[in-house]
């Protein structure tokens, strides 16, 4: 069981290390932001584009705060692993800055501005992460645990914790990232 979850931590590390140089840096986080902007068809200079970049800036600050223990601006796999185990596996309260980052991401995902992130809106993020179009509806159904047709901050955060702590198949967390990524 431990092996599976360590493997998931390493998988998300690989996902965040976009330029594959073995460390997560601000450049990687901007690359992820750009990927999402492209998925939205949104220029970085638009209001939503700027909000997205700002959210990813905060995401980087949060990652650096929690993971970059030697403060060299680079997060190595061991720093990342230790921080993820501390944050999600060993329990304890979820950090406020993480909740804020998820909240701002969901606000940006809510493209029609009705205060809810529905299946089509959330699918943009999942597709940008590499989920097949055909899997997005299934993923959404697993992540929307209260079945109200929208992903809430609580549902998203619970899924992240589930991803790192629950090795069972077809749990909400197992649908956060492409299955193929989890098998690398």
Residues near Ca ion (CB under 5 A) are: 17, 19, 21, 28, 110, 112, 114, 116, 144, 146, 148, 150
* Nearer of residues 30 and 167 to Ca ion, judged by Cβ: 30
DSSP annotation string for 32-61: HHHHHHHHHT--TTSHHHHHHHHHHHHHHH
Find the radius of gyration of the CA atoms of the chain: 16
Instruction: Output the CA torsion 171→6→10→178 (10° steps).
Output: -20
**Entry field: residues in the chain:** 184
* Nearer of residues 68 and 144 to Ca ion, judged by Cβ: 144
Give the shortest CB-35-to-Ca ion separation in angstroms.
Answer: 14
If one counts every other C-beta atom within 10 angstroms of the C-beta of residue 18, the result is: 17
Give the shortest CB-19-to-Ca ion separation in angstroms.
Answer: 5
* Nearer of residues 14 and 89 to Ca ion, judged by Cβ: 14
Give the shortest CB-96-to-Ca ion separation in angstroms.
Answer: 22
Give the shortest CB-36-to-Ca ion separation in angstroms.
Answer: 16
């Amino acid at each position: 069981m431990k092996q599976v979850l360590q493997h998931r931590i390493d998988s998300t590390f690989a996902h965040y290390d976009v330029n594959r140089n073995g460390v997560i840096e601000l450049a990687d986080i901007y690359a992820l932001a750009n990927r999402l902007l492209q998925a939205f068809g949104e220029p970085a200079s638009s209001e939503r584009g700027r909000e997205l970049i700002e959210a990813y800036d905060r995401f980087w600050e949060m990652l650096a705060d929690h993971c970059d223990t030697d403060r060299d601006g680079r997060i190595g796999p061991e720093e990342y692993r230790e921080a993820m185990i501390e944050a999600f596996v060993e329990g304890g309260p979820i950090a406020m800055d993480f909740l804020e980052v998820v909240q701002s991401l969901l606000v940006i995902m809510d493209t029609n501005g009705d205060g809810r992130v529905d299946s089509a809106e959330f699918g943009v993020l999942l597709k940008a992460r590499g989920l097949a179009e055909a899997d997005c509806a299934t993923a959404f159904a697993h992540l929307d645990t209260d079945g109200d047709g929208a992903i809430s901050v609580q549902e998203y955060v619970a899924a992240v914790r589930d991803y790192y702590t629950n090795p069972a198949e077809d749990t909400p967390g197992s649908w956060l990232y492409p299955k193929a990524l989890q098998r690398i």
